Structure 1
Amino acid sequence: MSAHLVFRPVTHETQADFEALFSARGSPSYCWCMAWRATSQELRDAKGPARRQQMLGRIAAGTPVGLLAYRDGTPVGWVSVAPKAIFRGLGGPLPEPNEQAWSLTCMFVPRPLRGQGLAHELIAAAIAHAHSGGATVLEAYPVDPDSPSYRFMGFVPAFEAAGFAHAGMAGTRRHVMRLAL
């Protein structure tokens, strides 16, 4: 599958593709990947339409938000990856001096395309993107495969396969996993 995938950051130029992916049936349009980004002011209106506008505002401002995966020119996946400092409440260790931590907080693949290894490709692309953006460590917050919640953050075995190491827990379900870049 990777031979047919192209990854592009979400920017003004790719915003329409991002909106199309998030507007499709079964997408996370209730959240727009704002769960870990929203400020306390933005949390006052946490419904889908407001979250969409909040995310679009970040894209318009040039704030890094993540990558889209394309197959044959069509967006087929999303991974939220950006500097950890723009998120809130993720948990995990405080950055070491001179450490540039980025966070991978969410992945989305439309249901018909799941089970094809796309999550592994999204993780690999996020690693490369974080590294090229100056990150010295990439942090992720996956759950066990049988977890009833936070499944959009990915599963521990996929991150283990990518070389991430366990660094603790954030709450009762989310593992904190880190990869030195």
Structure 2
Amino acid sequence: MASERLRFRAVTSERWADFERLFETRGAPGYCWCMVWRATREEAKHGDRGSRKAAMQARICEGTPVGLLAYDGEDAPVAWCSVAPRASYRRLVRDESPDDGIWSIACFFVLRPLRGTGVMRQLIAAAVRHARAKGAKMVEAYPVDADSPSYRFMGFVPVFAEAGFSEVGREGTRRHVMRLALHKPARRHSPSS
């Protein structure tokens, strides 16, 4: 596998089988199905693997944005990035400001053979492009320090800093809150005749 050949696709109902295949790979987050931050109070009462998988599948089939898959070529999903409107998550931050226009990057999963090859940087760049294309005004992330004993699936502070994110606060004792404002490209004016 070569990380420079990666292609990124939004998870849709048509890509459910790919998402399922990646999440059922050994070492993947199939225990949570990326529902920890998304589960409603009612869904949280049923925290078993099957219930979480069904809840994620329902969101995807309803057209709710959940994230991106990275493919090595066209067929093999090799990585995942949870990126969606912050309002679609239940409890990422205690920030009471309106969620309008804020998209959140909540977690990553990369197959072991590709770890340490720059895939996370590519996932962040793809997530930012995706959020911008969907009308986001800002992308927010919750990475940790490299020596953190938990939340490592949310990424690391230096990688987000390299991508242009700035720290704006903390959430709990481990997670940093980092943001990247998305500016629309300047419109080019054609010369007057």
TM-score (norm 2): 0.90
**Deviation sequence 1:46-71 (CA, Å, 0-9, x none):** 12111000000000111000000001
Asked if the contact 1:92/1:167 (under 8 Å) is kept, the reply is no
1:94 Cα deviation from its structure 2 partner: 4.0
Residue aligning to 1:172: 173
The correspondence of residues 91-130 of structure 1 with structure 2, limited to 5 A, is 91=93, 93-95=95-97, 99-130=100-131
Partner of 1:80 in structure 2? Answer: 82
Any idea what SS the aligned residue of 2:66 has? coil
**What CA distance in whole angstroms lies between the structure 1 residues aligned with 2:112 and 2:8?**
19
In terms of Rg, which structure is larger?
2
Equivalent pair of 1:95/1:101 in contact (CA under 8 Å): no
The verdict on how the C-alpha distance between 1:96 and 1:42 changes in structure 2, with shifts beyond 3 A counting, is: closer
Structure 1 unaligned residues grouped into runs of 5+? none
CA shift, 1:168, in A, is 0.3
| Per-residue Cα deviation, 1:111-160 (whole angstroms, up to 9, x for no partner) | 12101010000000000000001000000000001101001100001000
Q: Counterpart amino acid of 2:171?
A: A
What is the letter of the counterpart of residue 179 of structure 1? L
Contact 1:34 1:51 in 2 (8 A): yes
Q: How far apart are 1:92 and its partner, in Å? A: 5.8
Contact 1:92–1:169 at 8 Å: present in 2 too?
no
Give me the CA root mean square deviation: 1.4
Count of equivalent residues: 180
Moved over 6 A (4+): none
Q: Name the % identity.
A: 57
1:28 aligns with 2:18: no
Gaps of at least 5 residues in structure 2 are 183-193
What is the match of residue 19 of structure 2? 18
Please list the CA deviations of residues 8-61 of structure 1 after superposition, one character each: whole Å capped at 9, or x if unmatched.
000011110000000000000011000100000000011211100000000011
Question: Conserved in 2, the CA contact under 8 Å of 1:6 and 1:71?
Answer: yes
Q: Rate the CA distance shift 1:76–1:105 in 2: closer, same or farther, 3 A.
A: same
1:142 is matched by which residue type in structure 2? Answer: P
Aligned CA distance change for structure 1 residues 134 and 95 (closer, same or farther; 3 Å): farther
* Inter-partner Cα distance in structure 2 for 1:89 and 1:50: 19
Question: Which residue in 1 is equivalent to 2:164?
Answer: 163
The answer (yes or no) to whether the contact 2:3–2:114 under 8 Å persists in 1 is no
